Amino acid sequence: MLALLAATPALPLDEAGKYVAGAYVVFLALIVVYVAIMAAKLQRIERELSELARFAETRSNGGQTAPGRGGEEPSISDSLAPHGAEEAAPYE
């Protein structure tokens, strides 16, 4: 890897270098922030799913309601999804 880097031609990182680097870093940062937000959402889904799995296992023992927001009004984060789509469950 180091040999490959050594063989590559040097980039003219003078005055222009900081602008070019800035443009590419901003783009990379945007993508990283987006992926981090999506990863956090997926973690929440995974956590809620494991909660529901535990609930489903113990459900036969009593008349509980599902944990979380099942029978409640949707939260703010729920409302950010395209509502019509989720209500009609189009993702199957």
Partner 1 sequence: MYGKGLRPLSIATVAAIVASLSLVFFYAPLDADQGFIQKIFYLHVPLAIVALIGFVVGGVFAIAHLRSGNSRWDAYSYVSIHMSVIFGVAVLITGSIWAKASWGHWWVWDEPTLVSFLIVFLMYATYYPFRYAIEDRERQARYASVFAITAGAFVPLNFMAVRMAQSLVHPRVFATTNGGLPGSMMLAFLASLLAIGLLWVTLVKFELTAKSASGQLKRLRRALDAPAPGGRSRVAPEVS
3-state helix, strand, coil in the chain (%, to 5): 65, 0, 35
| Binding of partner 1 by 84 (CB under 8 A) | yes
Whether the CB-CB separation of 52 and 67 falls below 8 Å is answered with yes
| Binding of partner 1 by 50 (CB under 8 A) | no
Whether the CB-CB separation of 52 and 66 falls below 8 Å is answered with yes
From 1, 2, 3, 14, residue interacting with partner 1 (rule: CB under 8 A) = 14
Residue 61 CB, nearest approach to partner 1 (Å): 13
From 6, 9, 61, 62, residue interacting with partner 1 (rule: CB under 8 A) = 9
